[in-house]
Amino acid sequence: MVEPSLDPARSGEVVRMTRSSTPTTDRRSRLKFCLIRPPATDSFRFTTTMVTPPLGLAYIGGALKRAGYPFTAIDTVAEAPTTHTRYVRGYLIGLRFEEILRRIPADADVIGITAIFTHEWPTVVMLIARIKAAYPEKLIVVGGEHVTSMPEFCMATSQADFIVMGEGEETIVDLAGALERGDDLSSVDGIVYRAGKEIRVNKRRARRADVDDIPWPAWEAFDLKTYHDQRFFNGMYSPHLTVPILATRGCPYQCTYCSAPNMWTPRWIPRDYGKVVDEIEYYVKTLGARNFPFQDLTAIVRRDWIAGFCREILARGLDITWQLPSGTRSEAIDDEVAQLLHRSGMISMAYAPESGSETTRKLIKKKMHTERLFESIRAAARAKLNVGCLMVIGFPHDRLEHLQETLPFVERLAEEGVEDMNVTFYMALPGTELFYQLYDAGKIVIDRKYFTHILAGTSIIPSVSYCDQLSLWQLFVWKLRLSLRFYRRRAKVQKQHGELTSFAKVLRGFLEIDHETRLQTAVRNGVKLAWNTVLASFGPRWIASSEEKRLFAGWDAIYREVHRMKLESGVRRPSVADPARLHEHNVIDELREEHGTPRVLALSSAD
């Protein structure tokens, strides 16, 4: 056994790793990379967000390409989009492990794997284990939002050689150069690596401000047509080829349930809108793309930016559609901007008030003014934009009176012009303020159930409740109650205006290729996901049930030890006992401490 230790001041030579091969640093030629998008996960739910093209991995490919590093890509989803394998919940989409291994080039030096979503981490762990068994000499680098939120845990529970935290374009190139030159790895900001039985966490790389200089995604290495043909993307369906776009990075807010502050820090950095349109125009001309869902966390923050973007599209005469499916702010959208959005081809947008309760929004640090939201919604409706709203129930501090307050709120949404509304259950995403509060209170166990509850967030029936005041049954009932209240009221409004009701549009959505509403897409997706889930339940498992049980067995002990060591060293502070007090704290100081502190961990629980 190795005694637990965490010393932020320690650094030094890199020695032989114990659970995977030693990083080779004396290479004479350019490293060759193989980028892998692992199998995606899905299950029965009603959602407009299916599997999406690997935007982050494509950006990594673009960075490697500019730096002169050859790479190949294995997109397991695009290469086998109809292969479904029974998973811990739902099913995996894409190549099975043995097929992935056969596609890895023999001359690849480094294998890069993306790990965005928490519920897909078990898949990544087992994929890494299979790769290491077949190719022990190859280095494995994992990046993405999930590993950024739990870097020490992810290193301890996998055989990865490196983890990249935060934005990865600069870090992967710097890491490659350090490996080629044999540099001390402690000099590479933004990575986690092994040194003997120790896990070494370098300080995080500063946010990149020159976002216009980041190379475009290397989409030539990925099959976007297959994603489109399978309707694998975020937002309303379009018959035209779809390419995801990232126009801005980060978010300036500190919502307690969101992982963005840890991933990006509370900072919003926009690209030059003209250069965003350059990218879109390039895809129109070279790929024949016409539909562009924006993957931004918060695309609309500045009025001048979004107005300039729309005018640039109009000036170039681009005949496109674009969408904001992930939620956006309301402050910048007035009648003039809404008309510009419509004229420039924007067909769908979503607001994310999360709750109709002013108290709940205050407690989750949702900086939103109710009347300004409705002014923005009215402007969007007058511009004939499809407007959706995203709501969340089951926050740890939710009370029945908060949900009662949301009932008239959703009715007003329907009256003011919101076309679609989606109610999801609160998910305890790692790296968030609410996650740490729940974990310190002993309400989260890092086990199989935790990793599957993320998928249940958009299901009809929740799998867990982190709210003492609301049972699973109550959450289910309130989801139905809020949804029915909204759509019944919406139907009355639509009849008054001589429009088809939302329910009639859903039926028409099964017959027509082009969709008018998010609900049409969500219901069609739900039917498909239900059928796939049933079929997959009779198919082969991703791994044997006994192996799955062993996989999760020690994970909570590992995370508990990591968390304790970080608290003892001062890298993290104990969370408040009452989740309703989180809004009193500014998370920036804590992020600055954790991100800026290099540290060394020797975990006895990982032996």
Looking at the domain assignment, is residue 343 inside a domain?
yes
Above 60 in pLDDT, residue 60? yes
Other CB atoms within 10 A of residue 144 CB: 25
The reported pLDDT for the residue numbered 235 is 80
3-state SS assignment for residue 482:
helix
Least confident of 42-51, 424-433, 454-463, 514-523: 514-523
Above 70 in pLDDT, residue 392? yes
Quick one: 439 and 472 in the same domain?
Answer: no
Closest alpha carbon to 253 in 559, 540, 587, 498? 587
CA 202 to chain centre: 23
Q: What does the alpha-carbon distance between residue 78 and residue 582 come to, in Å, rounded to a whole number?
A: 42
Looking at the domain assignment, is residue 218 inside a domain?
yes
Quick one: 394 and 444 in the same domain?
Answer: no
**What values do phi and psi take at 41, rounded to 5?**
-120, 140
Quick one: 265 and 366 in the same domain?
Answer: yes
pLDDT tens track for 8-41: 333 333 222 222 233 344 444 789 999 999 999 9
The CATH number given to whatever domain includes residue 95 is: 3.40.50.280
The reported pLDDT for the residue numbered 454 is 86
What share of the chain has pLDDT > 90, as a percent?
A: 77
The first and second tokens of residue 247, run together, are: 């126009």
The reported pLDDT for the residue numbered 6 is 33
Based on the number of CB atoms within 10 Å of its own CB, is 16 exposed (0-12), middle (13-18) or buried (19 or more)? exposed
DSSP one-letter code for 39: P
Quick one: 252 and 385 in the same domain?
Answer: yes
User: Higher model confidence: residue 457 or residue 230?
Assistant: 230
Total count of domains within the chain = 2
Quick one: 148 and 256 in the same domain?
Answer: no
Under 8 Å CB-to-CB from 481, ≥6 apart: which residues? 407
Across 194-213, average pLDDT: 95
Across 106-112, average pLDDT: 97
Quick one: 440 and 521 in the same domain?
Answer: no
The reported pLDDT for the residue numbered 23 is 39
Quick one: 472 and 596 in the same domain?
Answer: no
Last residue of a domain, one of 500, 532, 564: 532
Distances in whole angstroms, Cα of residue 370 to Cα of each of 377, 381, 393, 446, 456: 11, 17, 18, 37, 29
Quick one: 212 and 238 in the same domain?
Answer: no
Above 90 in pLDDT, residue 499? no
Least confident of 336-350, 460-474, 496-510, 593-607: 496-510
The reported pLDDT for the residue numbered 529 is 78
> Which structural domain range is residue 366 located in?
233-426+467-532
DSSP one-letter code for 285: H
Angle between helices 555-569 and 545-553 (to 10 degrees): 20
Side by side, the strands of the sheet bearing 386-393 are 291-293, 321-328, 346-354, 386-393, 420-425
The reported pLDDT for the residue numbered 455 is 83
Q: What does the alpha-carbon distance between residue 445 and residue 334 come to, in Å, rounded to a whole number?
A: 45
The CATH number given to whatever domain includes residue 521 is: 3.80.30.20
Under 8 Å CB-to-CB from 444, ≥6 apart: which residues? 428, 435, 438, 450, 466
Quick one: 316 and 453 in the same domain?
Answer: no
Closest alpha carbon to 459 in 484, 424, 486? 424
The reported pLDDT for the residue numbered 332 is 86
User: Higher model confidence: residue 479 or residue 235?
Assistant: 479
pLDDT tens track for 337-351: 999 999 999 998 999
Looking at the domain assignment, is residue 544 inside a domain?
no
The reported pLDDT for the residue numbered 342 is 96
The reported pLDDT for the residue numbered 226 is 96
Angle between helices 502-509 and 472-496 (to 10 degrees): 100
Q: What is the dihedral of CA 213, 217, 221, 223, to 10 degrees?
A: -160
Closest alpha carbon to 446 in 146, 203, 221, 180? 146
The reported pLDDT for the residue numbered 501 is 58
Closest alpha carbon to 502 in 588, 407, 387? 387
Quick one: 146 and 173 in the same domain?
Answer: yes
Above 90 in pLDDT, residue 140? yes
Quick one: 338 and 301 in the same domain?
Answer: yes
Looking at the domain assignment, is residue 290 inside a domain?
yes
Q: What does the alpha-carbon distance between residue 400 and residue 95 come to, in Å, rounded to a whole number?
A: 45
Closest alpha carbon to 41 in 146, 113, 118? 118
Looking at the domain assignment, is residue 339 inside a domain?
yes
What share of the chain has pLDDT > 70, as a percent?
A: 90
Quick one: 90 and 197 in the same domain?
Answer: yes
pLDDT tens track for 250-280: 999 999 999 999 999 999 999 999 999 999 9
Looking at the domain assignment, is residue 420 inside a domain?
yes
Looking at the domain assignment, is residue 8 inside a domain?
no
Looking at the domain assignment, is residue 134 inside a domain?
yes
Least confident of 18-27, 113-122, 505-514, 595-604: 18-27
Q: Check if the beta carbon of residue 204 is closer than 8 Å to that of residue 48.
A: no
When the pLDDT of each residue in the chain is averaged and rounded to a whole number, the result is: 89
